[in-house]
Structure 1
């Protein structure tokens, strides 16, 4: 097995279990500072780095392993006579194992620690880089998850395995450097000039959007949709994940108990109510045709009664902060193929001052590049800039307008949302002209909810012509919320006034292409 190891870690998880049996087999261990003390407490004989270098640690440990007596044994090519002679002339034994991980800069950043510069590792990356470069002769371990595999093998890893471990090192170093660069440039560079993306493989998917497309799932952050636990049902498909993400994004707009149904990446039913069960029932009835095969998201736990409602029709998946035991029993007996996802983070926003916790940016792939934009947040702060044409709405109408506006932002443009009370009653989206979206939304309202009170209407973009106002007024709609900004705004306003339609101009567009 290994003869000479260099060990220097911040994360000491599993270290003694790795080094102890190897040391008993005669492996020499060279180590630094806190790592050395940790190993010695476990009864492992250790050579201090300063003994090998003849140079004591200085400047609070900033300089300890950066020395030729460390890097010559790390980088020596044992198939090169000249390199072997250098080792022999200096009485140095080559390292064949390096165990090293880095100061946890990312954790320190997330914890808001001060003086982050002191969490930037210098010696560790240098050791890892040197060892990984010399993978033909050195096994390098940067992840405690790899320790047990080395012990189980009971022998020096193959060249292929050493190369794989070296690749893992360079990947980890890239992520580490990206994190530091991002932090360093955050204050001095308000505008984006460099984009650092490092995705960690999470899982393979059966296929992509269509069966002929290969697909994988990568995580960019520790937190996210990948944290959701699948409590029952088949594995998630690419399209399931897209729909769940859309549903989660929409339901997080609301503090009150809310249910969102999504089909083909578009909400098809949204409802809020003080009782989660009522909200679920209203959301499923919002568009009873489109909801077949949808996914649903709620921002409150699912009870047995709610599970009974959800089990009344075919759904692809459900995601919620939690489920009662009796609710899970209902799903198991009635809908065993329904994908049940539990994600406690769905309820975090309830104690958060901001509505809608989202990614900081959106990315779209284009031929040869990426388009990056800030994530649009719809929140109550916008209301202070709203301009009213006609009457000013009362609190109930204001609530309907805000709900319609929030939902509209999650529909594909051109998008129109009709809301009556606390539920959507007609959604039109994805049309290449606005009047078509208006007509679709009205048709759904008339087909499924004609008995409800006349809804308010939201549009994600301005009205280029008065025709949409005429169509809305024709069915009795009296309140419309839209961003404004058309060259024909005055013409649209005049038409609304002549038809006794009140309008709210948000001053903010909410397209979703």
Structure 2
């Protein structure tokens, strides 16, 4: 069918925003209104003439509203093909009136889960009748118009105005596609809750339910927030999607105060910076500078300005055009210092008026404010597409404390060396493998990332430190007297020898290599301290 005139509408919504105005406009156009429960009351309170679904079905709403629209009088009116003689005969025989328009949105299941409601309340927010009606109307889009999102009310009214109270086939197809996507995402949210949420909250316990982080079928549901200018490269298209219920807020939920739209690379790099600076939440002022998803400078200091200066000193060359994240609200002095070099994005949990004024002079700089820093130890899954499949793993939320470390050398680290080891280790877990990080006095001294062997990563980190010292006019690189962290074990002594040559006096690494004794012997010969974590942090 082409255009379909709207003469009778069924309205049944959980989210009632805008529904009174919509129904009023429909009624003025001569559309008969049918509704359910709370929606019907809201429309009557607005002075509209509304008939109850129970009048059409001959049955009252029952079982606390669980049963009200699951009836042939409703689904027959939605599913009947208007130009099919047999369908029309069945409608006449059973006194079923056609429903030309369905306005329906669903119980707030995702929001109920997100706010931590109890199991019984969550169960009651699993909608049954709503998805059934939406699917019926969507399947029969040749004859019926479905609106499942209040954001589409204006588009519906515009469509009706342009077509003398009717909808076009193209509009109905577009709305049906959106409606099916909504029911799919809704069912996915429910399935995921049963797999990961309810299994661990259920009185029977996860073992009795056969719970696993990796269910046999993994439904995914994400909503497009925006189309981006392009992907990693200009010839690639890109978009940003978010989950239907967001438990952890990050860059997609940040408030952008100024600057151009974020690009695909901006999102990726900004996320890397936010995740790393979150490691220092609640600690001394911290600054993270990221370039191409790798940190190129990280520091903590008594003041945010001091942390910025120390982080920048690690590798000022790479910091040009980078992403900056801080762990506390920005002040004007620090903001002014950041503005002295070209910076793409700055992320902070707040910024005072002086900081905002400093950034305002840099029109292209994006300033993002986040409500809270994410919890780096939160659970969750990471997904990566490969040709023919999807790789899924739990987040790398592992961490070590001083009590977890095993001293394997004759010399134990000093308290300062131990602190530098842990700082370097924290940064290393956010550096692409193979990762080597030198740190001293709460600041990175040199970072080597993404090399095919660990020795070269150590050499690159040392080169960066030497160049930074020459640029600053220091008598020696800050790797002298530093601690070195390796994200995975040192398979040979050559990586350790590169660290010793750079001036490191302490090393932290996972251990577990076949040649551990060879590496330990080399450390003892050089008089340096080394600790094993027993945990690695590959990052690809």
Q: TM-score, normalised by structure 1?
A: 0.94
- Which of 167, 176, 187 does residue 177 from structure 1 map onto? 187
Query: What is the number of residues matched between the two proteins?
Result: 504
Contact 2:195/2:213 (<8 A) preserved: no
Counterpart check, 1:310 vs 2:338: yes
Identify which range, 20-29 or 30-39, moves more after superposition: 20-29
How far is the alpha carbon of 1:194 from its aligned partner?
2.5
Deviations 1:249-269 (A, max 9, x none): 111111222111111111100
RMSD over aligned CA atoms reads: 1.8
Q: What does residue 216 of structure 1 align with?
A: 239
3-state DSSP of counterpart to 1:88: helix
How far is the alpha carbon of 1:358 from its aligned partner?
5.6
Q: What does residue 153 of structure 2 align with?
A: 147
Aligned counterparts of 1:281 and 1:476: Cα–Cα separation in 2: 22
- Which of 6, 11, 19 does residue 7 from structure 1 map onto? 11
Q: What does residue 387 of structure 1 align with?
A: 406
How far is the alpha carbon of 1:395 from its aligned partner?
3.7
Counterpart check, 1:494 vs 2:521: yes
Counterpart check, 1:190 vs 2:212: yes
Contact 2:286/2:307 (<8 A) preserved: yes
Deviations 1:68-106 (A, max 9, x none): 111111111111111112222233320001111111111
**Matching of residues 476-491 of structure 1 within 5 Å:** 476-491=503-518
Counterpart check, 1:237 vs 2:263: yes
Q: Can you give the 5+ residue segments of structure 2 that lack an aligned partner in the other structure?
A: 200-208, 470-475
Contact 1:383/1:506 (<8 A) preserved: no
- Which of 111, 134, 139 does residue 140 from structure 2 map onto? 134
Deviations 1:196-251 (A, max 9, x none): 22221121222211122122222225433112232222222222221111111111
Contact 2:189/2:221 (<8 A) preserved: no
Identify which range, 77-86 or 181-190, moves more after superposition: 181-190
**Matching of residues 257-272 of structure 1 within 5 Å:** 257-272=285-300
Aligned counterparts of 2:379 and 2:322: Cα–Cα separation in 1: 24
How far is the alpha carbon of 1:359 from its aligned partner?
7.0
Deviations 1:433-487 (A, max 9, x none): 1111111112222332426461100000111111222232234322100001101
**Matching of residues 281-430 of structure 1 within 5 Å:** 281-333=309-361, 335-346=362-373, 356=376, 360-380=380-400, 382-390=401-409, 391-430=411-450
3-state DSSP of counterpart to 2:539: coil
Aligned counterparts of 2:508 and 2:235: Cα–Cα separation in 1: 42
How far is the alpha carbon of 1:394 from its aligned partner?
4.2
Q: What does residue 42 of structure 1 align with?
A: 46
Identify which range, 17-26 or 470-479, moves more after superposition: 470-479
Q: Can you give the 5+ residue segments of structure 1 that lack an aligned partner in the other structure?
A: 350-354
3-state DSSP of counterpart to 1:471: helix
3-state DSSP of counterpart to 2:423: helix
How far is the alpha carbon of 1:401 from its aligned partner?
1.2
Deviations 1:42-65 (A, max 9, x none): 112221111111112222222111
Q: Once superposed, which parts of structure 1, at least 4 consecutive aligned residues long, lie more than 6 Å away?
A: none
Contact 1:253/1:378 (<8 A) preserved: no
Identify which range, 293-302 or 318-327, moves more after superposition: 318-327
How far is the alpha carbon of 1:120 from its aligned partner?
1.1
Aligned counterparts of 2:366 and 2:64: Cα–Cα separation in 1: 53
**Matching of residues 63-102 of structure 1 within 5 Å:** 63-102=67-106
Deviations 1:100-152 (A, max 9, x none): 11111111111222212221111111111101111111111111111122223
Q: What does residue 273 of structure 1 align with?
A: 301
How far is the alpha carbon of 1:31 from its aligned partner?
1.5
Q: What does residue 178 of structure 2 align with?
A: 168
Aligned counterparts of 2:241 and 2:58: Cα–Cα separation in 1: 45
Identify which range, 157-166 or 470-479, moves more after superposition: 470-479
